[in-house]
Chain A
């Protein structure tokens, strides 16, 4: 469970940009919470890279099988902030 530190959409979009860049024609600062990662231009490889960064930065462990089911930023944030075990921030 979360130990107080919550990963926000802003944190996630920053990590998406760092780990996988930004697709042309997509504005990550727009209303993207419920847009699928697929539509945002991120393939499974990009998601593995982003999830790796999330796990390193926030000390969370996300089970392999749950990651593929998190198809939108909202779903991934929910996964991180509820099921992931956050041990440290930043």
Chain B
């Protein structure tokens, strides 16, 4: 399929061609390639620009001829812990059912709080297969990550004993790290907030592991025996996109061949509820907990906190193909931008998110009108709904009106740093099954929002190119493009 030509003669298509043309005159691309030939190379597998890895030039779009191909990235394994069900199968069943897993908070007494609903996971670490020592050592978020990583590894069919440890890396996103364990332990060492000079004699041995959440990436690395680059990526609520984006960059530049990538969060704790209450970010719709999160709906009241994890196995495309791996999708483009505007606020014009989308499209060499589904940030705030609707129109032009859009946060809440990765998994499953998850609770569309937000029920519709976006506190906007495995090969 020629992705650019598929756009026909729409305005968006013309803009894409113009943009690509401009790009050709820009000296940046050739300079970038020059850089790449000298980029990090750590082993014999890293000559990514060898002819063996170039694909058919006709698939390279308008600047195809003579341009060397980038190493490509395949998603070959998925694992999740999510509200409403553990494991990818239950997760996908929930998303396509249109049911919401939001409920009244059960982890602590929510009665003092303005917002008293959340999307909690029914997660039992023992039945999830964690050992007693892992359960003691790991914060809930780290437990989610390890369980998800094991599921993804099994799903990928990778034989760990045949992996090159040094060419396997780890990238895990999290916005607030081990906050649940930290708050729990704070309450003890401070004796309920009474002592500023908190008492070290009550500190558990794991406290430092929770204090520096990069330890979660180590735990995930050990699941597969990865000894390549490892890090926690923490860019607020875009962490889940940025961590996977980081992994994609590492594979592309040739530093690694396999990445265990994803994100985790377990933030449902009094301090999180208190700080979101203080800025009225979370919804006061407490009366019907399963209807609490209402993205794009006129009656929306704010976001609903969630928790969970998603971890993926990412592999260099040709090696994944060579071993006969099942490829869910390709991660074709990624970009992150800062709004440099506000730590929590968003402007309605959506300019920075549009910049991220445009840059991701350029990286993927895809035209805006090739996009067949958008998994929106859709956090359930008016500010976000306007911001991203503005961004979609800026980036996609008239095609924005044709693209089905939905927010799965309506069903699984907003798990902060984890949600971006959970949404990538949802996109991979949408591509795999030709089904687009709906926006639950969208009964009364906001009349100021005029795009196709897939209300209430899933839509059976094939999407070969899928966009997923996110916004995060700190002023971050990110965009990622996934394509069906047969689109570019």
Interface residues in chain A, defined as those with a beta carbon under 8 Å from any beta carbon in chain B: 43-45, 48-49, 52, 64
CA distance A49 to B278 in the complex (A): 8
CB-based contact A43/B345 at 8 Å:
yes
CA distance A14 to B284 in the complex (A): 30
In order of increasing CB-CB distance, the 10 nearest A-B pairs are A48-B279, A45-B344, A45-B279, A52-B278, A64-B280, A43-B345, A48-B280, A48-B278, A43-B342, A45-B345
CA distance A64 to B279 in the complex (A): 11
Complex interface: chain B residues within 8 A of A48 (CB): 278-280
Complex interface: chain A residues within 8 A of B343 (CB): 45
For residue B340, give the distance in angstroms from its CB to the closest CB of chain A: 15
- Interface centre among B280, B342, B345, by most A CB within 10 Å? B280
Enumerate B338-388 residues with CB–CB distance to A below 8 Å.
342-345
B interface, by DSSP: helix, strand, loop or mixed? loop
Complex interface: chain A residues within 8 A of B342 (CB): 43, 45
For residue A83, give the distance in angstroms from its CB to the closest CB of chain B: 18
Interface residues in chain B, defined as those with a beta carbon under 8 Å from any beta carbon in chain A: 278-280, 284, 342-345
Complex interface: chain A residues within 8 A of B345 (CB): 43-45
Q: A43-B342, A45-B343 are in contact. List 8 more A-B contacts (CB 8 A).
A: A43-B345, A44-B345, A45-B279, A45-B344, A45-B345, A48-B278, A49-B278, A64-B284
Complex interface: chain A residues within 8 A of B279 (CB): 45, 48
For residue A53, give the distance in angstroms from its CB to the closest CB of chain B: 11
CA distance A34 to B280 in the complex (A): 26
CA distance A4 to B231 in the complex (A): 58
Complex interface: chain B residues within 8 A of A43 (CB): 342, 345
CA distance A43 to B278 in the complex (A): 14
| Residue in A closest to B279 when the chains form the complex, CB atoms | A48
Complex interface: chain B residues within 8 A of A49 (CB): 278
| Residue in B closest to A52 when the chains form the complex, CB atoms | B278
Complex interface: chain A residues within 8 A of B284 (CB): 64
For residue B345, give the distance in angstroms from its CB to the closest CB of chain A: 7
CA distance A43 to B475 in the complex (A): 15
Complex interface: chain B residues within 8 A of A64 (CB): 280, 284
Complex interface: chain B residues within 8 A of A45 (CB): 279, 342-345
CA distance A64 to B342 in the complex (A): 22
Complex interface: chain A residues within 8 A of B278 (CB): 48-49, 52
| Residue in B closest to A64 when the chains form the complex, CB atoms | B280
| Residue in B closest to A48 when the chains form the complex, CB atoms | B279
| Residue in A closest to B383 when the chains form the complex, CB atoms | A44
Complex interface: chain A residues within 8 A of B344 (CB): 45
Complex interface: chain A residues within 8 A of B280 (CB): 48, 64
| Residue in A closest to B114 when the chains form the complex, CB atoms | A64
For residue A66, give the distance in angstroms from its CB to the closest CB of chain B: 13
